[in-house]
């Protein structure tokens, strides 16, 4: 009584299609990239988060209304001496979060150069989000919200101020990216792969034949 | 047997250091040892050239046909050097067939035998290998030996492959194979690239027949079949359209974009999707409600009659059913019915059914299907239409030869909400004694009924609820009079035990899973048409319950089971049954919650099972490195995760090696099991290139290695090399005040030259015998520290130290920018002198100093055996060094490069010859 091949999914519920996207986090050291990922994936925060020396990898899935987006997250090393290695990780990425620390103007400048580099070197349809992290430290704020927002608008970036510490906007920024990513068949590395069992497209399969009575 | 492969198979090597410049010739072959075939796996032999040197790479594929790079394992690497012999032999075993030969590669005692089919491919392969060998011999003759150190990486890989295999055995984590995608992280781009490359190459042989493509074609034929079957059906425009788009849809579902070759095995997401599906099913009860749907099932053998109104049969109940499944047999008994696919009876009876459905509800046809006289119509209440999906049909003829459709079965399947339903209408073999034939028919129909729009096709068994109706033709094994008597008395219970189907239901495997409700109606066969009288013809057929309805599945309750005697046109009476069936209806909200929960759990599992290691150290400093003295440090890597980890040093973008030449890493890839740790040796070798870098004024040399965990994260390992003291350069001179010699030159140089002059000018074979490594280290230390006063070691060691010192100079004695000029004018002493006059003073002074020294040595030629040609050649090469990035060092054109190098060598010695032959004065 199995339903081999005939996957049964209700209308309106999250559908079986999983789209997979590579997402990379970039930004100066200590702005909180690893902390954002840790918050998003495990719901945790560490005051003493070790600096990343390498590129950490985690996955996390976001369920949208119509599709499921699986992120392969690459958290990169922000230290300047590893800068030249960053292309290894943003190459082929469909999404990027460029992070700065709202209490540090330099990190915002660095974020801008990351954005420029992505625009030049990354794949042209990459979805870029700008995250002004450590929003919980607003008393030490050095980067005005409006300034960053204006910059994001000019460059058509998603923008949110986040806090890995309080979890503010952390899920939201990933969700916003998930929504913005193209889920069409041409969606590159999305889950358009040979299926062991074909599922006939359900919507198009309305019953045929005329109605009677 | 072995098949020859005609294509050139280009692969992109993952993390391989050197570009594959030459073609890869692949041959399917077995390796053979002695009389026995030892390894049946297909082999691919590739001839690979790297900067003039060749090697044979032997890959083994465990899959046939080999579809992706991942299927290939590097099995052996054979450098084409002086050691390799290639012989061909006729096949030893006739079983290999004709047209094949044995190709033997012999390296010392080891003989590698490969059997190859199709001799012309083998011939050309042999020819290429022979060419490579000839080239090698030629080069060796020129004194240009091949080093083949570039093969070390691959040899390591072979070791790695062996290690990987052992990992497979030990891997007990069930998720490691299906949840985790081996290609998903760093490698994924490469794989994608590979696939597109393959497309570009346009394979014409078995490589192109990737599984997926096969599926594709199968699938398409299936689709065509089903649509041709649909043509038996009542067709309207919409239906045609529907089938067409289905084709496209399916291709899309398969991930088959036009012109895209999908390598099989690239299915990470599918793995998760399948898993999610499975988990969802397991937790169905959490989001599914069972709702009762009323199902009307009817069957009637109409004996080829014209249609009539059917209300008495189809809408005699108070409440309208949700689903109708109406089956007919002998719809059309005319001879044409066997020949033509169209039957006028079909629309006629369909119309009659349409009109007679229950008046209190509106219905839509789900699907109809007809096989000659066997037709099945399925209707559903309009309100349920949107939940009715994945409709498919199939038919199985069982008539004469199992082909003709006068007997057989047709089926309609669909899903309603989260339940799958299947209706089968069958007309089985006739005649009293043929019950075994009927059993067989049922078995055939059940096993051959395939809903092919699914891959793999769905069978009857794959459904939650199955209803089997039809003229099953089973009879009552009792005397005709006895039957009639009991019917009259209403003693049906006495007849039932003699009913053939009643007995099969309990005994025959094909019926075991089916249930039938209690029969409370008189036999429905055979009547005199137009009456309720049993057959009065001469044949006097025994009355029988031919027309039956069976069902199987959880949650089915039969409400009624009856016949409809008032419909008299046929020799059969119609039968119907009403069921209440439990249909699983998903509650979207709860479903979503479960779905999200499953995703979360899978994420956690996936993250938990990511490879995790700790490194004892991520930064390595090599202080006080010294020329010619290798230094080792250990990188300890401990697996603290739950899965075996394969680590690997990977190339940075745009770099063709994972590390610089001065570093060697051993092993560069390996498997570390949970709880284990491994020590990786990092050895820095300060060779000329490094010494040169330091001499160029670099205080330190840095590099970062990327240590990649397969299917996981990367670590950056930093290296910092610090030299104790720069060996010196010519403009950094100590002017010697010690009267005799007037040249300004580095102190080290002076000490070396002075020492050789004092203690070695009479030494036989000076500059011909090599020195001792230990001596040279001491000499270097002595030069660095000035202690002891006299240089240690043998005179040959000092002589070699002098040469090494000159070779390690950042700028050679004759500066790089003068290199080409000097070579150009080497035939003319005057012009050579002119060239030298353009050289900066400090360099010219040293040049002069050394030339004078060498000339003086030549003056002692009787004793030390030195001759001018030898010295000119040797020191020409030391004084004149080709600039880095010149035409030679960047050239990859193996032979041309060699030639160039050779002629340059001659020019260098010609140049110096002048200065050794004549006293050099400006
Ligand atoms: N108050 C506050 N502190 C934060 C926040 N996010 C991160 N931190 C702290 O900032 C420090 C650096 O955070 P990381 O996540 O390691 O920064 P990173 O960008 O990954 O740094 P690198 O790995 O070196 O590139 C840690 O001490 C965190 O605890 C935040 O939202 N608010
Ligand atoms: Mg970090």
Residue of A16, A20, A50, A208 to mutate when probing chain B, most B C-beta within 10 A: A208
Span of A108-112, A145-149, B427-431 with lowest mean pLDDT: B427-431
What angle separates helix A105-121 from helix A145-154, to the nearest 10 degrees? 10
Q: Mean pLDDT throughout B33-51?
A: 55
Residue minimizing CA distance to atom 8 of ligand 1: A32
Q: Which of A24, A30, A101 to mutate to test the pocket of ligand 1 (most atoms within 8 A of CB)?
A: A30
The one-character DSSP state at B847 is: H
| CA distances for B507 relative to A10, B95, B504, B518, angstroms | 40, 51, 5, 17
Q: Check: CB of residue B410 under 8 Å from CB of residue B369.
A: yes
Predicted local confidence at residue B169, as pLDDT: 36
The one-character DSSP state at B768 is: T
Q: Which of A27, A45, A49, A143 to mutate to test the pocket of ligand 1 (most atoms within 8 A of CB)?
A: A49
Mean pLDDT taken over chain A? 83
Q: Strand order in A211-212's β-sheet?
A: A211-212, B363-371, B374-381, B323-329, B288-301, B575-586, B556-563
Predicted local confidence at residue B325, as pLDDT: 97
Select the residue of B269, B366, B603 nearest A191 (Cβ to Cβ): B269
Provide the pLDDT confidence category of residue B90 given band limits of 50, 70 and 90.
low
Q: Mean pLDDT throughout B148-168?
A: 58
| B619-625 and B714-723 strand pairing | parallel
Residue B43 has pLDDT above 50, yes or no: yes
Ligand 1 midpoint to CA A152 (Å)? 22
Whether pTM > 0.80 for this model: the answer is: no
User: Quick check: B357 and A207 CB within 8 A?
Assistant: no
Span of A1-5, B114-118, B354-358, B640-644 with lowest mean pLDDT: A1-5
| CA distances for B99 relative to A156, B86, B127, B455, B606, angstroms | 66, 19, 17, 41, 52
Q: Smallest Cα–Cα separation from B511: which of B548, B566, B565, B464?
A: B548
User: Quick check: B652 and A189 CB within 8 A?
Assistant: no
Ligand 2 midpoint to CA A49 (Å)? 7
Residue B645 has pLDDT above 90, yes or no: yes
Span of A33-42, B75-84, B456-465, B518-527 with lowest mean pLDDT: B75-84
Q: Cα–Cα distance between B329 and B341 in angstroms, integer?
A: 16
Q: Is B289 helix (H, G, I), strand (E, B) or coil?
A: strand
Ligand 1 midpoint to CA B665 (Å)? 33
Q: State pLDDT tens for residues B472-527.
A: 999 999 999 999 999 999 999 999 999 999 999 989 999 999 999 999 999 999 99
A–B: how many Cβ contacts below 8 A?
A: 245
**B530 φψ region: left (φ > 0), alpha (ψ -120 to 50), beta (else):** left
Q: Check: CB of residue A62 under 8 Å from CB of residue B601.
A: no
Select the residue of A198, A205, A207 nearest B454 (Cβ to Cβ): A198
Provide the pLDDT confidence category of residue B471 given band limits of 50, 70 and 90.
very high
Nearby residues of A120 by Cβ (< 8 Å), 6 or more positions away: none
B245 and chain A in contact, CB less than 8 A: yes
Q: Check: CB of residue B636 under 8 Å from CB of residue B665.
A: no
Q: Mean pLDDT throughout B564-576?
A: 95
Residues 159-218 of B with CB under 8 A from A: 184-186, 188-189, 192, 211-212, 215
Q: Mean pLDDT throughout B779-808?
A: 84
Q: Cα–Cα distance between B168 and B176 in angstroms, integer?
A: 10
Residue minimizing CA distance to atom 7 of ligand 1: A32
Highest mean pLDDT among B77-91, B562-576, B884-898: B562-576
Mean pLDDT taken over chain B? 75
Predicted local confidence at residue B73, as pLDDT: 64
User: Quick check: B603 and A81 CB within 8 A?
Assistant: no
Q: Mean pLDDT throughout B892-896?
A: 58
Span of B235-249, B367-381, B389-403, B607-621 with lowest mean pLDDT: B235-249
Q: Mean pLDDT throughout A160-166?
A: 97
Q: Which residues of B touch A209 (CB under 8 A)?
A: 234, 236, 239, 364-368
Q: Cα–Cα distance between B372 and B369 in angstroms, integer?
A: 10
Residues 181-200 of A with CB under 8 A from B: 185, 189-200
Please state the atom number of ligand 1 nearest to the C-alpha of residue A50: 16
Q: Mean pLDDT throughout B88-100?
A: 54
Residue B612 has pLDDT above 80, yes or no: yes
Burial B280-302 (b: 16+ CB within 10 A, else e): beeeeeebbeeeebbbbbbbbbb
Structure tokens, B41? 């796996």
Select the residue of A18, A191, A205 nearest B389 (Cβ to Cβ): A205
Residue minimizing CA distance to atom 1 of ligand 1: A134
Shortest CA gap A129–chain B (Å): 22
In DSSP terms, B643 is beta-bridged to: none
User: Quick check: A196 and B455 CB within 8 A?
Assistant: yes
Q: State pLDDT tens for residues B856-880.
A: 899 888 888 889 999 999 999 989 9
| Torsion sign, CA atoms B68, B69, B70, B76 | positive
Residue B140 has pLDDT above 50, yes or no: yes
Higher pLDDT, B302 or B747: B302
List ligand 1's pocket residues with C-beta within 6 A.
A 27, 29-35, 46-49, 51-52, 77-79, 133-134, 136-137, 163-165
- Supply φ then ψ for residue A178, to 5 degrees: -55, -40
Please state the atom number of ligand 1 nearest to the C-alpha of residue A75: 20
Residues 116-155 of A with CB under 8 A from B: none
Residues 4-43 of A with CB under 8 A from B: 4-14, 16-18, 20, 22, 41-42
Nearby residues of B479 by Cβ (< 8 Å), 6 or more positions away: none
Q: Cα–Cα distance between B919 and B249 in angstroms, integer?
A: 89
Q: What beta strand segments (E) does B398-514 contain?
A: 408-416, 419-427, 465-471
Ligand 2 midpoint to CA A176 (Å)? 22
């Amino acid at each position: 009584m199995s339903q081999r091949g005939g996957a049964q999914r209700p209308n309106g519920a999250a559908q079986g299609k999983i789209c997979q996207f590579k997402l990379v986090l970039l930004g100066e050291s200590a702005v909180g990239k690893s902390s954002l990922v840790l918050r998003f994936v495990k719901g945790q925060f560490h005051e003493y988060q070790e600096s990343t020396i390498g590129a950490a990898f985690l996955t996390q899935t976001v369920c949208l209304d119509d599709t499921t987006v699986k992120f392969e997250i690459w958290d990169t090393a922000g230290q300047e001496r590893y800068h030249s290695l960053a292309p290894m990780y943003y190459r082929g990425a469909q999404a990027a979060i460029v992070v700065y620390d709202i209490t540090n103007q330099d990190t915002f400048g660095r974020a801008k150069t990351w954005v420029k580099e992505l625009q030049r070197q990354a794949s042209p349809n990459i979805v870029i989000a700008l995250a002004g992290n450590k929003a919980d430290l607003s008393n030490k704020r050095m980067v005005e919200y409006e300034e960053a927002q204006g910059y994001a608008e000019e460059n058509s970036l998603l923008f949110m101020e986040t806090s890995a510490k309080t979890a503010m906007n952390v899920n939201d920024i990933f969700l916003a990216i998930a929504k913005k990513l193209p889920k069409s068949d041409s969606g590159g590395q999305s889950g358009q792969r040979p299926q062991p069992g074909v599922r006939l497209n359900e919507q198009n399969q309305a019953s045929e034949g005329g109605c009677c009575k | 047997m072995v098949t020859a492969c005609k294509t050139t198979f280009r692969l992109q090597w993952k993390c391989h250091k050197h570009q594959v410049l030459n073609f890869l010739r692949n041959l399917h072959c077995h390796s053979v040892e002695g009389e026995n075939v030892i390894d049946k796996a297909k082999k691919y032999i590739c001839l690979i050239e790297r900067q003039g040197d060749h090697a044979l790479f032997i890959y083994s594929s465990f899959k046939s046909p080999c579809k992706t790079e991942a299927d290939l394992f590097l099995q052996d690497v054979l450098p084409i050097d002086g050691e390799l012999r290639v012989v061909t032999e006729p096949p030893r075993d006739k079983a290999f067939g004709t047209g094949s030969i044995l190709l033997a590669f012999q390296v010392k005692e080891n003989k590698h035998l490969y059997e190859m089919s199709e001799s012309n491919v083998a011939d050309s392969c042999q020819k290429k290998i022979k060419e490579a060998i000839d080239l090698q011999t030629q080069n060796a003759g020129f004194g240009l030996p091949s080093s083949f150190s570039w093969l070390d990486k691959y040899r390591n890989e072979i070791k790695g492959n062996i290690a990987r295999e052992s990992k497979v055995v030990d891997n007990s984590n069930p998720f490691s194979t299906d949840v985790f995608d081996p290609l998903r992280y760093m490698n994924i781009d490469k794989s994608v690239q590979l696939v597109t490359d393959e497309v570009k190459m346009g394979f014409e042989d078995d490589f192109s027949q990737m599984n997926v493509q096969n599926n594709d074609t199968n699938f398409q034929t299936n689709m065509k079949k089903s649509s041709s079957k649909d043509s038996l059906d009542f067709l309207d425009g919409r239906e045609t359209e529907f089938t067409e788009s289905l084709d496209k849809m399916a291709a899309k579902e398969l991930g088959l974009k036009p012109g895209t070759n999908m390598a099989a095995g690239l299915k990470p997401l599918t793995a998760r999707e399948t898993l999610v599906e499975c988990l969802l099913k397991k937790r169905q009860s959490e989001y599914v409600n069972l709702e009762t749907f009323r199902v009307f099932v009817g069957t009637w053998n109409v004996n080829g009659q014209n249609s009539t109104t059917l209300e008495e049969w189809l809408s005699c109940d108070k409440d309208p059913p949700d689903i109708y499944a109406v089956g007919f047999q002998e719809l059309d008994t005319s001879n044409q019915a066997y020949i033509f696919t169209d039957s006028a009876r079909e629309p006629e009876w369909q119309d009659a059914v349409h009109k007679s459905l229950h008046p209190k509800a509106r219905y839509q046809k789900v699907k109809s299907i007809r096989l000659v006289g066997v037709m099945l119509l399925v209707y559903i209440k309009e309100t349920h239409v949107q939940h009715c999906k994945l409709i498919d049909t199939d038919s199985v003829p069982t008539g004469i030869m199992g082909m003709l459709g006068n007997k057989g079965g047709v089926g309609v399947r669909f899903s309603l909400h989260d339940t799958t339903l299947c209706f089968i209408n069958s007309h089985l073999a006739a005649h009293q004694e043929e019950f075994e034939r009927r059993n067989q028919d049922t078995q055939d129909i059940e096993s051959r009924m395939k809903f092919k729009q699914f891959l793999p096709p769905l069978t009857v068994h794959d459904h939650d609820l199955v209803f089997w109706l039809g003229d099953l033709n089973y009879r009552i094994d009792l005397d005709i009079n006895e039957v009639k008597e009991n019917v009259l008395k209403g003693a049906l219970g006495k007849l039932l035990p003699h009913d053939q189907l009643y007995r099969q239901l309990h005994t025959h495997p094909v019926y075991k899973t089916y249930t039938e409700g209690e029969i409370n109606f008189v036999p429905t066969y055979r009547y005199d048409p137009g009456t309720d009288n049993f057959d009065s013809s001469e044949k006097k057929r025994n009355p029988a319950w031919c027309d039956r309805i069976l069902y199987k599945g959880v949650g089915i309750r039969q409400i009624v089971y009856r016949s409809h005697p008032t419909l008299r046109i046929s020799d059969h009476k119609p039968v119907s049954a009403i069921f209440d069936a439990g249909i699983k209806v998903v509650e979207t909200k709860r479903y979503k919650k479960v779905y999200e929960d499953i995703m979360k759990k899978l994420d956690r599992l996936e993250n938990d099972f990511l490879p995790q290691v700790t490194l004892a150290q991520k930064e390595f400093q090599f202080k006080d490195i010294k020329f010619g003295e290798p230094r080792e440090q250990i990188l300890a890597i401990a697996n603290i995760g739950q899965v075996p980890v394969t680590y690997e040093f990977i190339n940075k973008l745009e770099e063709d090696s994972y590390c610089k030449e001065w570093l060697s890493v051993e092993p560069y890839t390996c498997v570390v099991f949970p709880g284990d740790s491994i020590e990786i040796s990092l050895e820095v070798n300060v060779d000329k290139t490094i010494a040169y870098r330091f001499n160029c004024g670099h205080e330190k040399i840095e590099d970062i290695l990327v240590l990649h965990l397969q299917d996981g994260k990367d670590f950056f390992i930093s290296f910092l090399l610090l030299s104790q003291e720069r060996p010196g350069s010519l403009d950094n001179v100590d002017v010697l005040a010690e009267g005799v010699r007037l040249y300004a030159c580095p102190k080290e140089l002076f000490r070396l030259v002075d020492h050789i002059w004092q203690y070695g000018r009479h030494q036989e074979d000076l500059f011909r015998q090599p020195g001792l490594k230990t001596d040279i280290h001491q000499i270097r230390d002595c030069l660095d520290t000035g202690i002891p006063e006299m240089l240690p070691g043998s005179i040959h060691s000092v002589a070699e130290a002098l040469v090494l010192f000159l070779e390690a100079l950042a700028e050679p004695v004759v500066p790089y920018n003068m290199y080409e000029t000097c070579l150009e004018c080497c035939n003319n002493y005057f012009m050579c002198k002119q060239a030298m006059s353009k050289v900066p003073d400090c360099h010219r002074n040293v040049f002069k100093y050394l030339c004078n020294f060498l000339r003086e040595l030549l003056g002692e030629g009787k004793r030390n055996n030195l001759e001018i040609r030898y010295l000119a050649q040797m020191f020409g090469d030391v004084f004149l060094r080709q600039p880095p990035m010149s035409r030679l060092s960047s050239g990859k054109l193996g032979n041309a490069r060699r030639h160039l190098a050779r002629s340059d060598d001659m020019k260098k010695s010609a140049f110096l010859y002048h200065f050794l032959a004549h006293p050099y004065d400006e």
